[in-house]
Structure 1
């Protein structure tokens, strides 16, 4: 009964998080539209006067709301992760413990992850539990340039990054994401994103183009 209630709570939290993500995507889309102020662009000209073509109070309000949503999204994701770990622990056989993950802190090798090597049995998570465990995003696309490799390969503004090549949630994400792109320059990288609550599999190839970087987009960590 406790596990059932916790699962229901987790699903409700995920629905709430999806609603937050939709609102975040709307705000990002408005701020980052062509000619828009962007997420952190200057709202004054070189002489310090307010830009006449931008509704500054609205932009400030949207940026403030986006900051609030990001903080709430981070806290909600942490709560979901905690619930998932409790659900998984409750399904372990009596006297057993999760596989030792020591020496695997970089998150690149999934062989020791209890959330990946789930074997169907009376004590293993069912398919819905596994979906919950592996679909927690750790970043989202907040900037994407037109005609960039990321745009041409199917990434969209607001996509939630669940997996980028070998990079999943963990420590040193910025460095690992950069390294993954540089190491695989010219090679296709499998990417899993959450878009409007649904998981989508893409293939992105980091490569040189007329713009900056190998992808032409920016991942904002959650």
Structure 2
């Protein structure tokens, strides 16, 4: 009964996280639309007066909501990770399940539900090590298909392990101007991307921010 309840709770958390990601993407799209202020652009004009071309109150509300969603998304992701580890440990202890359903997931809280929550098995298929928690419009990452909320499973030759900050930075620098194979988990589904680190008008070679699960990294 405990396992069944935990599975149901985990599925609800998955649905909540997906809803958060959709809302975050909508806010990002709104803030970064043509002529928009962006995620952190100045709301004052060159003379120090409030900009007249944007709805300042709405922008501030959207930015505040995005910050709240990012924190909540992190908490939900960590809770899902805890649940899936408990479920996986219980499965190993009890042996193969007789349920006909299947729930594929990683030990870092990523799932692919292929049936109803009441009949699930648990298997580890990947281990994301970073979360895209900020991305700039028209950046190399955005143009190459990276989205807010993507969880990085593989970035070129880099997978989970030690010294991720240094390894990711080196991989981007080493492949500047060349396509890198990137695998991300997006709303429970593995997505293969081809991302090319390159110089652009903004900072870094990608224009997105990765939150390493044990640290922070800018690109």
**Cα distance, 1:135 vs structure 2:** 6.8
RMSD of equivalent CA atoms: 3.1
| Structure-1 residue corresponding to 2:118 | none
Residue 92 of structure 1: SS of its match in structure 2? helix
- d(CA) in 1 for partners of 2:76, 2:178: 35
| Structure-2 residue corresponding to 1:66 | 66
The answer (yes or no) to whether the contact 1:162–1:169 under 8 Å persists in 2 is no
Structure 1 residues 174 and 23 mapped into 2: Cα distance closer, same or farther (>3 Å)? farther
**Cα distance, 1:201 vs structure 2:** 1.1
Residue 17 of structure 1: SS of its match in structure 2? helix
**Cα distance, 1:47 vs structure 2:** 2.7
- d(CA) in 2 for partners of 1:127, 1:180: 35
The answer (yes or no) to whether the contact 1:77–1:136 under 8 Å persists in 2 is no
**Cα distance, 1:89 vs structure 2:** 1.5
- d(CA) in 2 for partners of 1:127, 1:92: 15
**Cα distance, 1:48 vs structure 2:** 1.8
| Structure-2 residue corresponding to 1:130 | 105
- d(CA) in 2 for partners of 1:171, 1:29: 34
- Taking structure 1 as the reference length, the TM-score comes to 0.70
Flag the structure with higher strand content: 2
| Structure-1 residue corresponding to 2:85 | 85
**Cα distance, 1:66 vs structure 2:** 0.5
| Structure-1 residue corresponding to 2:172 | 181
- d(CA) in 2 for partners of 1:214, 1:56: 28
Residue 52 of structure 1: SS of its match in structure 2? coil
The answer (yes or no) to whether the contact 2:70–2:133 under 8 Å persists in 1 is no
The answer (yes or no) to whether the contact 2:31–2:37 under 8 Å persists in 1 is yes
1:200 to 179, 187, 191: 191
Residue 53 of structure 2: SS of its match in structure 1? coil
Aligned pair 1:23/2:23, yes or no?
Answer: yes
Structure 1 residues 67 and 46 mapped into 2: Cα distance closer, same or farther (>3 Å)? same
The answer (yes or no) to whether the contact 1:44–1:50 under 8 Å persists in 2 is yes
Gaps of 5+ in 2: 112-123, 214-219
**Cα distance, 1:186 vs structure 2:** 4.8
- d(CA) in 2 for partners of 1:135, 1:16: 21
| Structure-2 residue corresponding to 1:191 | 182
| Structure-2 residue corresponding to 1:98 | none
Higher RCO, 1 or 2 (CA under 8 Å, sep at least 6)?
A: 1
| Structure-2 residue corresponding to 1:105 | none
Residue 43 of structure 1: SS of its match in structure 2? coil
The answer (yes or no) to whether the contact 1:144–1:217 under 8 Å persists in 2 is yes
> How many residues of Structure 1 are paired with residues of Structure 2 in the alignment?
191
**Cα distance, 1:27 vs structure 2:** 0.3
- Taking structure 2 as the reference length, the TM-score comes to 0.71
Residues 60-69 or 130-139, more deviating: 130-139
Instruction: Provide Cα deviations, 1:170-211, integer angstroms capped at 9, x if missing partner.
Output: 7765544322212334554321234455331112233x4454
The answer (yes or no) to whether the contact 1:192–1:201 under 8 Å persists in 2 is yes
- d(CA) in 2 for partners of 1:197, 1:84: 13
Aligned pair 1:218/2:208, yes or no?
Answer: yes
